[in-house]
Protein backbone atom coordinates (compact mmCIF):
# COMPACT_ATOMS: atom_id res chain seq x y z
CA UNK A 1 0.00 0.00 0.00
CA UNK A 2 1.32 3.44 -0.80
CA UNK A 3 1.92 5.53 2.30
CA UNK A 4 -0.85 8.04 2.94
CA UNK A 5 0.21 11.51 4.04
CA UNK A 6 -0.80 12.65 7.47
CA UNK A 7 -0.98 11.24 10.96
CA UNK A 8 -2.14 7.80 11.98
CA UNK A 9 -1.20 4.24 11.29
CA UNK A 10 -0.32 3.26 7.74
CA UNK A 11 -3.10 1.47 5.86
CA UNK A 12 -2.79 -2.30 5.72
CA UNK A 13 -5.65 -3.06 3.33
CA UNK A 14 -6.74 -1.37 0.14
CA UNK A 15 -10.46 -1.92 0.82
CA UNK A 16 -12.70 -2.37 3.81
CA UNK A 17 -13.91 -5.67 2.35
CA UNK A 18 -10.32 -6.97 2.28
CA UNK A 19 -9.88 -5.96 5.90
CA UNK A 20 -13.11 -7.79 6.77
CA UNK A 21 -12.03 -10.98 4.92
CA UNK A 22 -8.68 -10.91 6.73
CA UNK A 23 -10.46 -10.53 10.08
CA UNK A 24 -12.73 -13.48 9.25
CA UNK A 25 -9.76 -15.61 8.18
CA UNK A 26 -7.90 -14.83 11.41
CA UNK A 27 -10.99 -15.58 13.48
CA UNK A 28 -11.51 -18.94 11.73
CA UNK A 29 -7.79 -19.69 12.13
CA UNK A 30 -8.09 -19.07 15.86
CA UNK A 31 -11.13 -21.38 16.03
CA UNK A 32 -9.17 -24.08 14.16
CA UNK A 33 -6.16 -23.49 16.41
CA UNK A 34 -3.78 -22.75 13.56
CA UNK A 35 -0.24 -21.90 14.54
CA UNK A 36 1.67 -18.77 13.53
CA UNK A 37 2.36 -18.78 9.81
CA UNK A 38 -0.23 -21.49 9.06
CA UNK A 39 -3.08 -20.95 6.60
CA UNK A 40 -5.95 -22.91 5.11
CA UNK A 41 -6.84 -22.56 1.44
CA UNK A 42 -9.56 -24.28 -0.54
CA UNK A 43 -8.88 -27.66 -2.12
CA UNK A 44 -9.95 -26.23 -5.49
CA UNK A 45 -7.41 -23.38 -5.26
CA UNK A 46 -4.69 -25.84 -4.26
CA UNK A 47 -5.53 -28.09 -7.22
CA UNK A 48 -5.37 -25.19 -9.69
CA UNK A 49 -2.04 -24.08 -8.21
CA UNK A 50 -0.65 -27.61 -8.44
CA UNK A 51 -1.74 -27.91 -12.07
CA UNK A 52 -0.11 -24.62 -12.99
CA UNK A 53 3.13 -25.37 -11.16
CA UNK A 54 3.28 -28.76 -12.91
CA UNK A 55 2.97 -26.98 -16.27
CA UNK A 56 5.72 -24.57 -15.21
CA UNK A 57 7.97 -27.47 -14.24
CA UNK A 58 7.28 -29.20 -17.58
CA UNK A 59 8.00 -25.97 -19.51
CA UNK A 60 11.29 -25.60 -17.65
CA UNK A 61 12.33 -29.19 -18.35
CA UNK A 62 11.33 -28.86 -22.02
CA UNK A 63 13.29 -25.62 -22.28
CA UNK A 64 16.41 -27.22 -20.84
CA UNK A 65 16.16 -30.02 -23.41
CA UNK A 66 15.33 -27.64 -26.27
CA UNK A 67 18.30 -25.42 -25.46
CA UNK A 68 20.82 -28.23 -25.15
CA UNK A 69 23.39 -28.19 -27.91
CA UNK A 70 23.47 -25.20 -30.22
CA UNK A 71 19.95 -23.70 -30.49
CA UNK A 72 19.21 -20.94 -32.95
CA UNK A 73 17.50 -17.66 -31.99
CA UNK A 74 14.04 -18.98 -32.91
CA UNK A 75 14.41 -22.01 -30.63
CA UNK A 76 15.55 -19.78 -27.78
CA UNK A 77 12.58 -17.44 -28.30
CA UNK A 78 10.15 -20.38 -28.40
CA UNK A 79 11.59 -21.93 -25.22
CA UNK A 80 11.39 -18.56 -23.45
CA UNK A 81 7.82 -18.02 -24.64
CA UNK A 82 6.62 -21.37 -23.25
CA UNK A 83 8.37 -20.73 -19.96
CA UNK A 84 7.00 -17.18 -19.69
CA UNK A 85 3.42 -18.31 -20.39
CA UNK A 86 3.65 -21.06 -17.76
CA UNK A 87 5.17 -18.69 -15.19
CA UNK A 88 2.51 -16.03 -15.84
CA UNK A 89 -0.22 -18.64 -15.31
CA UNK A 90 1.21 -19.54 -11.90
CA UNK A 91 1.29 -15.88 -10.90
CA UNK A 92 -2.39 -15.48 -11.81
CA UNK A 93 -3.60 -18.22 -9.44
CA UNK A 94 -5.35 -16.52 -6.51
CA UNK A 95 -4.39 -18.17 -3.23
CA UNK A 96 -6.74 -16.47 -0.81
CA UNK A 97 -6.63 -18.01 2.65
CA UNK A 98 -9.83 -19.23 4.24
CA UNK A 99 -8.23 -19.26 7.69
CA UNK A 100 -5.00 -17.76 9.03
CA UNK A 101 -2.91 -18.52 12.06
CA UNK A 102 -2.09 -15.66 14.38
CA UNK A 103 0.27 -13.03 13.07
CA UNK A 104 3.02 -11.84 15.33
CA UNK A 105 1.84 -8.57 16.77
CA UNK A 106 -1.92 -9.05 16.36
CA UNK A 107 -4.25 -9.93 19.15
CA UNK A 108 -7.57 -10.63 17.40
pTM: 0.64
- Is residue 106 pLDDT above 70, yes or no? no
User: For residue 60, what pLDDT is reported?
Assistant: 95
37 pLDDT band, cuts 50/70/90, is confident
The answer to whether residue 44 is domain-embedded is yes
Work out how many domains the chain is built from and give that number: 1
Domain with 65 in it: 16-100
Q: Which residues pair with 99 in a beta bridge?
A: 40
Segment 7-20 mean pLDDT: 82
User: For residue 108, what pLDDT is reported?
Assistant: 47
The answer to whether residue 5 is domain-embedded is no
For the ranges 14-18, 43-47, 48-52, 100-104, the lowest mean pLDDT is seen at: 100-104
The answer to whether residue 84 is domain-embedded is yes
- Is residue 79 pLDDT above 70, yes or no? yes
SS3 per-residue string spanning 65-108: HHCCCCCCHHHHHHHHHHHHHHHHHHHCCCCCCCEECCCCCCCC
Amino acid sequence: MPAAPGPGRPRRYCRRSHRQRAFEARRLGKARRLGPGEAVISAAALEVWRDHTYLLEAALEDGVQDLAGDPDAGEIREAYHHLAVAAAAVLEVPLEPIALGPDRGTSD
